[in-house]
A and B are shown apart, each in its own frame.
Chain A
Amino acid sequence: MSAEMANEIKLISGRSHPELSEKIAKRLGIEVARTVSLNYSNQETSFTVGESVRDEDVFIVQSTATGDVNEGLMELLIMISACRTASARRITAVIPNFPYARQDKKDKSRAPISARLVANMLQTAGANHIVTVDLHASQILGFFSVPVDNLYAEPSFLRYIRENFNTEDCVIVSPDAGGAKRATSIADHLNTAFALIHKERPRPNVVGRMVLVGNVEDKIAILVDDMADTCGTLVKAAAVLKENGAKSVLALVTHGILSGNAIETLNSSVLSALVVTNTVPLGDKVQRCPKLRVIDLSPTIAEAIRRTHNGESVSYLFTHAPV
């Protein structure tokens, strides 16, 4: 008999993505803990826990919704801090799309490394463990001094491609040099060809000239990336692929941030489909964009939570997607 009493998973959901939390809870066969978050009239965020978390294994699921990143982040920090002061044994922040992941280096003088700031803030608030999906740069793991489990959407993507396409007709394309590793990994697993688009980017959120490296003629070109924000890159890349003779072009992206005019851009593009996961709340975007398909990633996240709680290895999930 161990000295410590067995504890339970307490799944706490923020306001940003309740659907995902519900799915995870259902998968784990538990209920989302009774909590409530609200904003006071002076806009300060308040959070109340309605059940004991003392000595429990707390998992806080909070994605960050497009356009309201800071609100979600602040709520998450307050939730973590509240559970910490309420004597939770361990607090794991489950952040499917890590906020500020793209601001991870000092690319200009006096530019903030906001990703590191977020990492520090999470630890200051009291997070003991982080679970996230497809970090923009895996170096962000180094910003933390607590364990971080970076899950991958890749196994789910592989299954999607195998189920929907004849892999021999496909070519995996990386829309930029930075994503080449991610794309080659998928191409290797599927045993398909690989191509790469080189782009120049004069300013953030603006896309410059594009050059295709590789052959996509008469193939189904599958663009693979970690996030789709304004979709400028993807749509331009798709046009380049079409010009180079691709039969059809679709994109597989983990985080569908889809900000600004992304939906309109997509609807008028040559992309036949954009496949995203549900790490980011999509709201009514699925209705507004017929090209948008969503892969449910909650089994992977739920399984990671279960394994973390039971002290089992999580690395199985890097190569296998639970059904």
Chain B
Amino acid sequence: MVRNIVVLGGNSHPDLVQSVANILGVPPCNRILTKFSSGESRCEIQDSVRGKDVYIIQTGFGGNGSKLNDHFMDLCIMISACKTGSARRVTAVLPLFPYSRQPDLPYKKSGAPLFKGGSENGKMDYTFESVPATPAPDLPRTLGLTNGSDITNRLAKTTSLPNGTSAGAMSPVKPINGESYLGANGQGVATPGYTTHDYENMSHVGAFQAKPGYKQWVAQAGTLVANLLTCAGADHVITMDLHDPQVQGFFDVPVDNLYGRPLLKRYIQTHIPNYKDAVIISPDAGGAKRATAIADSMGMDFALIHKERRPTKITDRQNATMMLVGNVADRVCILIDDLLDTGNTITRAAKLLKKEGATTIYALLTHGVFSGDAISRVKASAIDKIIVTNSVPQDEHKALLGPRLDVLDISPIFAEAIRRVHHGESISVLFNYD
């Protein structure tokens, strides 16, 4: 039992809130958090927060009929409500930090433009070269899948989709796909299947063309989100496995970045037979550090997949765009990454590993967002077992993927972090036991 702590939960992940509150031995704070019929969020905190240490848990995940931006605004409103309600300190707990993955810029740092032929878009089968769906006026369009639909459903949907928008009629201000993003009935977002990687594909936004001579400017929302949280009144932020650790530097308030690594390591030790003989793989160079940290501490071999994004006049694309550094023949492979969004990177990596002779492929990820076609893609992939944490709700994904998906519980880590922050104890010792 901890006194003076208030655990307040948003709508994005009620299960996590409940289990963190249970571990801390405090009931979650009573609150009303709904929407007015006009669409504005309505928030009322029903328990006193005066002089209390408030922890607001809201993960950056929209799905199951809810929207990410709604959750984020709710979080800001809750923070502000607690602040005006004289809370002593307000800590925003974001297991998955929204907007932490900055979009890939359309141009490389060297300035070389990245053009990809539009012809490879719109493939229906998940092949090695499958890229996330990028609808454009003249291409077959894939609407973003809600996680519940299966692939046949999706194909049916795609073929029946009227493709009437001509390039000329499409002006930049019109909603993409000619469909309003405002679901008139308020439920179910029409999410086009764009991913943060779409900026590699110049055709990604249909008729949209930058003015001649101007390189388009893509909003990088990470700093904004950090500023908005502090502006709402957050005194402290707790999150887990930030995609870019630099995001920590966007804040003027303390940020505790927890690691999912110990959980993943324990899973490897307890669930993978003969894990010492397995190889840890990083699916891209960016995650190499994360993966080597695990490999080193456990004395395991390490390999890396190098993604070549610069198109080099490819005929045999498969070999040119991805190469494996290391040996995996006849071994168990463990892919380590921080985030699974559309699942493109990880499934492509798995495919390559199978080709190189891997026997069994495990994929361990901290955040399993499974957006867009991810579920179908993972189902069709060579991954034998995929392991994620419950930083975002996993019930639906579990139902769809069945025994192929294992979910690790992060609520003890967050509960312990909250307890330690509250008592002013060190957080770093949480991650020193290896």
Chain A residues within 8 Å of B, Cβ to Cβ: 13, 15-16, 18, 21-22, 32-36, 38-53, 64-71, 73-75, 77-79, 81-82, 85-86, 99-100, 102-103, 106, 108-114, 116-117, 120-121, 123-125, 204-205, 229-230, 257, 259-260, 281, 283-284
**B182, chain A: closest CB distance, angstroms:** 4
The 9 closest A-B pairs by CB, nearest first: A41-B372, A82-B219, A112-B81, A50-B210, A110-B85, A260-B37, A43-B68, A43-B62, A110-B45
**Chain B CB within 10 Å — which of A48, A120, A205, A259 has the most?**
A48
A113: B residues at CB distance < 8 A: 80, 84
Contact indicator A52/B40 (Cβ below 8 Å): no
A117–B228 CA distance with the chains assembled, in angstroms = 9
Could you jot down 6 A-B contacts, CB within 8 Å? A15-B173, A34-B208, A40-B195, A117-B80, A121-B231, A125-B228
A41–B191 CA distance with the chains assembled, in angstroms = 6
A106–B82 CA distance with the chains assembled, in angstroms = 12
Contact indicator A74/B372 (Cβ below 8 Å): no
Contact indicator B341/A36 (Cβ below 8 Å): no
Which of B69-77, B308-316, B419-427 binds A? Answer: B69-77
Contact indicator B186/A67 (Cβ below 8 Å): yes
Contact indicator A112/B182 (Cβ below 8 Å): no
A53: B residues at CB distance < 8 A: 217
Answer whether A18 and B68 are a contact pair too, CB < 8 Å, given A70-B41, A77-B228, A259-B38.
no
Chain B residues within 8 Å of A, Cβ to Cβ: 36-46, 48-49, 61-63, 67-70, 72-74, 76-78, 80-82, 84-85, 98-99, 101, 103, 132, 144, 171-176, 180-186, 189, 191-196, 198, 205, 208-211, 214, 216-221, 223-224, 227-228, 231-232, 341-342, 369, 371-373
Cβ-closest chain B residue relative to A50:
B210
**A254, chain B: closest CB distance, angstroms:** 14
A71–B74 CA distance with the chains assembled, in angstroms = 12
- B68, B184, B214, B220: which contacts A42 (Cβ < 8 A)? B68
Task: Name the prevailing secondary structure of the B interface residues.
Answer: loop
Cβ-closest chain B residue relative to A84:
B224
A245–B62 CA distance with the chains assembled, in angstroms = 52
- A18, A21, A22, A121: which contacts B232 (Cβ < 8 A)? A121
**A78, chain B: closest CB distance, angstroms:** 5
- A43, A114, A125: which contacts B41 (Cβ < 8 A)? A114
Contact indicator A43/B172 (Cβ below 8 Å): no
Cβ-closest chain A residue relative to B192:
A38
Cβ-closest chain A residue relative to B47:
A110
A103–B228 CA distance with the chains assembled, in angstroms = 19
**A251, chain B: closest CB distance, angstroms:** 17
Cβ-closest chain A residue relative to B342:
A41
Contact indicator B182/A67 (Cβ below 8 Å): yes
A81–B223 CA distance with the chains assembled, in angstroms = 9
Cβ-closest chain B residue relative to A70:
B73
Contact indicator A40/B196 (Cβ below 8 Å): yes
Cβ-closest chain A residue relative to B106:
A48
- A38, A102, A114: which contacts B194 (Cβ < 8 A)? A38
Cβ-closest chain B residue relative to A12:
B173
A67–B188 CA distance with the chains assembled, in angstroms = 12
- B84, B85, B184: which contacts A283 (Cβ < 8 A)? B184
**Chain A CB within 10 Å — which of B174, B181, B223, B341 has the most?**
B181
Cβ-closest chain B residue relative to A37:
B176
A71–B227 CA distance with the chains assembled, in angstroms = 18
A39: B residues at CB distance < 8 A: 181, 189, 191-192, 194
**B387, chain A: closest CB distance, angstroms:** 20
B76: A residues at CB distance < 8 A: 117, 121
Answer whether A43 and B371 are a contact pair too, CB < 8 Å, given A65-B182, A71-B67, A112-B81.
yes
Contact indicator A71/B371 (Cβ below 8 Å): no
Contact indicator A230/B208 (Cβ below 8 Å): no
Answer whether A106 and B84 are a contact pair too, CB < 8 Å, given A18-B174, A42-B369.
yes
**Chain B CB within 10 Å — which of A44, A51, A111 has the most?**
A44
Answer whether A108 and B44 are a contact pair too, CB < 8 Å, given A50-B172, A66-B38, A125-B227.
yes
Answer whether A124 and B227 are a contact pair too, CB < 8 Å, given A113-B80, A259-B38.
yes
A39–B224 CA distance with the chains assembled, in angstroms = 17
Contact indicator A68/B228 (Cβ below 8 Å): no
Answer whether A71 and B70 are a contact pair too, CB < 8 Å, given A18-B175, A48-B216, A50-B214.
yes
Contact indicator A70/B84 (Cβ below 8 Å): no
**A304, chain B: closest CB distance, angstroms:** 20
Contact indicator A47/B219 (Cβ below 8 Å): yes
**Chain A CB within 10 Å — which of B37, B62, B205 has the most?**
B37
A257: B residues at CB distance < 8 A: 38
Contact indicator B173/A13 (Cβ below 8 Å): yes
B181: A residues at CB distance < 8 A: 15, 39, 68, 71
B186: A residues at CB distance < 8 A: 67-68
A71–B341 CA distance with the chains assembled, in angstroms = 20
**Chain A CB within 10 Å — which of B46, B180, B209 has the most?**
B180
Contact indicator B37/A46 (Cβ below 8 Å): no
A225–B69 CA distance with the chains assembled, in angstroms = 30
Contact indicator A48/B221 (Cβ below 8 Å): no
Contact indicator A81/B232 (Cβ below 8 Å): no
Known: A49-B217, A230-B37. 19 other contacts (CB 8 A): A41-B191, A43-B69, A44-B68, A44-B221, A46-B103, A50-B172, A50-B210, A66-B39, A70-B70, A70-B72, A71-B70, A74-B72, A79-B219, A82-B217, A100-B40, A110-B82, A111-B44, A114-B80, A204-B42
A87–B110 CA distance with the chains assembled, in angstroms = 22
